[in-house]
Amino acid sequence: MTPKRSPSDFALFGGAPAFVEKLHVGRPNVGDRAAFLRRVEDILDRRWFTNSGPYVQEFERRIAAEAGVEYCVAMCNATVALEIAARALGFSGEVILPSFTFVATACALMWQEITPVFCDVDPVRHTIDPEKIESLITPRTTGIIGVHVWGQPCNIEAIEEIARRRGLRVLFDAAHALACTHRGRRIGGFGDAEVFSFHATKFLNSFEGGAVVTNDAALAERMRLMRNFGFAGQDNVIHLGTNGKMCEVSAAMGLTCLESMEDIIATNRRNHFAYSEGLASVPGLRLYAFDPAEESNFQYVIVEVDAEQAGLSRDELVRLLHAENVLARRYFYPGCHRMAPFQSYFPHAHLLLPETEKLSTRVMSLPTGTAVGVEEVAIVCDIIRAASRCSPEISTRIRAAS
Ligand SMILES: *Cc1c(COP(=O)(O)O)cnc(C)c1O
């Protein structure tokens, strides 16, 4: 890349884009292609494509072991896993959750006519603020969903303490948090149950997929029934259910990615520290940091932009990067409470969510994962540093154009 010295060097203002090919956030990790294809051959030979086949069973055992829990119930995706877990836990009425999450957490509740009650987040950790939970509890509240955003565990003890005292059940949306630890213990065994996502963009993918993990045998059994139309054996339906099954080819991909998990973490960690170094000197930018005493999968490189100090807003920076073919994302924007299905019910929700409101205008997610090398990270950091150096002119030009 030719170094960018003046605003006209940026692609947004007519310069050559820094990347010819687009650099994505959440480009899937592939793992060992040959190992995956061997498993696909097995599946075709066996003609056992779904309904708790051998690969799904193996995947469930492996995930349970990774998470340090007794039971893993694999599902077709994490949204259905959240829906089934919510039902199996007897959630009804109102459930408290953060608004600063992927919309699926809130949809999973509303889809079942459970009212999502949005709670604000801790501005440093980005996870639900336990101090704001209690004032949201009403006689209709049945549970709390904490989200381990970016793989950062929630303040688990505080949430569990409130739940015990107020007779509520706790579900954790751990979609981001496979292989992350809290106080040295793997995420998976906290609360009544936790939900992982294996969507293509996630740390460990099965194309589409999810799972609920728990140490509660009865809960796991109920979820197994619900996942498969309530079948307890041929012709014997004993529970109301749906179709939440994971198929064999997904489990084959999940198992293949599990074998590469350590490499994926190492790549993510390397990229994370390359970004950390490359952006350290940029005023107004803060790279979201993980506790070095804990394990993390480093799947998300999150930058918070303080528009005043940086001289550029998050949105301006994202526009600038997109023109360079760096497809930074505004995760999570605008916050579930501002999305149509929820805003129409709770038009005043934002009044209770000042931190969520602020955070959702400040965060962006940068490309990482096995599709991104340190050379690319260095270029992305160069662009951001150059933008910072000429931020007044860039900002003036963007504002003049819009
Ligand atoms: C991705 C994600 C989900 C949904 O996962 P799917 O497997 O795509 O259904 C739920 N919650 C969070 C926080 C997520 O990031």
**Closest among 301, 71, 72 to 209, alpha carbons compared:** 72
**Cα-to-centroid distance, 80 and ligand 1 (Å):** 10
**Cα-to-centroid distance, 102 and ligand 1 (Å):** 6
Q: Is residue 110 a contact partner of residue 240, using CB atoms and an 8 Å limit?
A: no
For the residues 92-116, what does the mean pLDDT come to? 98
* 323 and 226 inside one domain: no
For the residues 158-185, what does the mean pLDDT come to? 98
For the residues 110-123, what does the mean pLDDT come to? 97
Instruction: Output the average pLDDT for the chain.
Output: 97
Domain contains 224 = yes
Does residue 147's CB lie within 6 angstroms of at least one atom of ligand 1? yes
Can you give the pTM of this predicted structure? 0.98
The atom number, within ligand 1, closest to the CA of 81 reads 9
For the residues 194-206, what does the mean pLDDT come to? 98
Domain boundary, last residue among 259, 277, 294? 259
Does residue 175's CB lie within 6 angstroms of at least one atom of ligand 1? yes
Q: Is residue 166 a contact partner of residue 172, using CB atoms and an 8 Å limit?
A: no
Query: Residue 402: what pLDDT?
Result: 79
The atom number, within ligand 1, closest to the CA of 197 reads 7
* 243 and 175 inside one domain: yes
Domain contains 334 = no
For β-strands 193-197 and 169-173, DSSP reports them as parallel
The atom number, within ligand 1, closest to the CA of 79 reads 9
- Pick the residue whose CA is nearest to atom 6 on ligand 1: 78
Task: Give pLDDT tens digits for 232-254.
Answer: 999 999 999 999 999 999 999 99
> In the chain, what's the furthest Cα-to-Cα distance?
72
**Cα-to-centroid distance, 104 and ligand 1 (Å):** 6
The atom number, within ligand 1, closest to the CA of 176 reads 15
* 316 and 299 inside one domain: yes
Task: Give pLDDT tens digits for 268-311.
Answer: 999 999 999 999 999 999 999 999 999 999 999 999 999 999 99
Query: Residue 87: what pLDDT?
Result: 98
pLDDT(1) > 80: no
Check which CATH number belongs to the domain holding 107 and give it. Answer: 3.40.640.10
* 176 and 270 inside one domain: no
* 238 and 374 inside one domain: no
The fraction of the chain above a pLDDT of 70, given in percent, is 100
Alpha-helix residue ranges (DSSP H) falling in 102-166? 103-110, 156-166
Domain contains 358 = no
CA distance 258 to 358: 36
pLDDT(2) > 80: no
For the residues 8-23, what does the mean pLDDT come to? 96
Domain contains 345 = no
**Cα-to-centroid distance, 148 and ligand 1 (Å):** 11
Domain contains 322 = yes
**Cα-to-centroid distance, 81 and ligand 1 (Å):** 10
* 317 and 238 inside one domain: no
* 61 and 71 inside one domain: yes
Domain contains 173 = yes
* 252 and 274 inside one domain: no
Does residue 77's CB lie within 6 angstroms of at least one atom of ligand 1? yes
* 287 and 245 inside one domain: no
Check which CATH number belongs to the domain holding 319 and give it. Answer: 3.90.1150.10
Query: Residue 213: what pLDDT?
Result: 99
Domain boundary, last residue among 259, 274, 289? 259
Pocket test for ligand 1, best of 105, 111, 149, 207 (most atoms within 8 A of CB): 105
* 153 and 298 inside one domain: no
Query: Residue 401: what pLDDT?
Result: 85
Contacts of 398 (CB under 8 A, 6+ apart): 12, 316, 319, 320
The atom number, within ligand 1, closest to the CA of 198 reads 7
What amino acid occupies position 74? A
For the residues 354-366, what does the mean pLDDT come to? 98
Domain contains 157 = yes
Does residue 127's CB lie within 6 angstroms of at least one atom of ligand 1? no
Write out the residue range of the structural domain in which residue 282 sits: 7-25+261-328+367-401
Does residue 99's CB lie within 6 angstroms of at least one atom of ligand 1? no
Assign residue 72 a region (left: φ > 0; alpha: ψ between -120 and 50; beta: otherwise).
beta
The atom number, within ligand 1, closest to the CA of 82 reads 10
pLDDT(338) > 90: yes
The fraction of the chain above a pLDDT of 90, given in percent, is 98
Does residue 24's CB lie within 6 angstroms of at least one atom of ligand 1? no
Domain count for the chain: 2
Does residue 172's CB lie within 6 angstroms of at least one atom of ligand 1? no
**Cα-to-centroid distance, 181 and ligand 1 (Å):** 19
Does residue 169's CB lie within 6 angstroms of at least one atom of ligand 1? no
Domain contains 361 = no
CA distance 227 to 204: 22
Domain boundary, last residue among 238, 259, 280? 259
CA distance 320 to 256: 37
Does residue 105's CB lie within 6 angstroms of at least one atom of ligand 1? yes
Q: Which helix (H) or strand (E) holds 268?
A: helix 261-279
Query: Residue 305: what pLDDT?
Result: 98
* 207 and 268 inside one domain: no
Alpha-helix residue ranges (DSSP H) falling in 167-247? 217-227
* 12 and 62 inside one domain: no
**Closest among 259, 277, 200 to 59, alpha carbons compared:** 259
